Amino acid sequence: MSVELSGLRLPLAHFTLEVDATLAGRVTAIFGASGAGKTTLLEIIAGLRAPAAGRVTVGGVPLTDVAARTFVPAERRAVGYVPQEGALFPHLSVRRNLLYGCPAQADAPAGLNLAHVTEVLEIARLEDRVIGTLSGGEKQRVALGRALLASPRLLLLDEPLAGLDAPLRERLLPYLARVRDEFAIPMLYVTHSPDEVMALCDDVLVLDQGRVVRRGPPTALFAATGGPRYELRG
């Protein structure tokens, strides 16, 4: 399934976001420094923000088309979104968080049911816990599980490991790889960590000041720059 972003434009405080790209990878990294417009781009795809111009098509289905006045609301897009802080609902148990997007488990598609998702993410034992008692890594895995259980056609991950310390990031990367391999849901992965890009992604879009400044597979892209291996600026 491909994500087509054509002629997207949205003026922001310090620059204008302008993106034209077709993303067809299993996991596409949206890479760039803080404030490059990465989160805004995800919000536009998720239907949480409307662009000033342009079109967003996922798997051939137009979700946003400013010219045609098409705007499918976020709740009908089936586009999952995991923000940096996880944004778990603090008043609900882990289980009720997980089932929020899919209350009727009988209707869950094969493979995306509660038992399987919690097994892959190793969170089954947390189901009865209160959100406030979870560690940072547990929270992120629950947030990921909750998004998966809503059976999205596309999953947007906004720096899911950014708030965690290095050893925890190392431990969580394999879970993300398992999600990629197990569920075959295309993912857009916002990050500013080259390690995460190398470990998970097969395509990279480098965003700077709201524009795509580079594009390509991670190996080619990171190897192409001289000097510090991960320096992508310039």
Shorter beta-carbon distance to another protein: residue 102 or 161 = 102
CA distances 156 to 33, 82, 180, 234, Å, are 18, 6, 12, 27
Closest separation in Å from C-beta 89 to another protein: 6
Closest separation in Å from C-beta 68 to another protein: 22
Closest separation in Å from C-beta 80 to another protein: 6
CA distances 81 to 39, 131, 230, Å, are 11, 19, 27
As given in the structure block, the two tokens for residue 114 are 């509660």
Closest separation in Å from C-beta 42 to another protein: 10
Shorter beta-carbon distance to another protein: residue 77 or 206 = 77
Give residues in contact with another protein (CB under 8 A).
43, 46-48, 73-83, 85, 87, 89-91, 100-102, 146-147, 150
Shorter beta-carbon distance to another protein: residue 80 or 210 = 80
Q: Alpha helix locations (H) across the chain?
A: 38-46, 94-98, 114-120, 136-149, 166-183, 194-200, 218-224
Please measure the distance between the N-terminal and C-terminal CA atoms of the chain and give it in whole angstroms.
Answer: 32
Shorter beta-carbon distance to another protein: residue 42 or 197 = 42
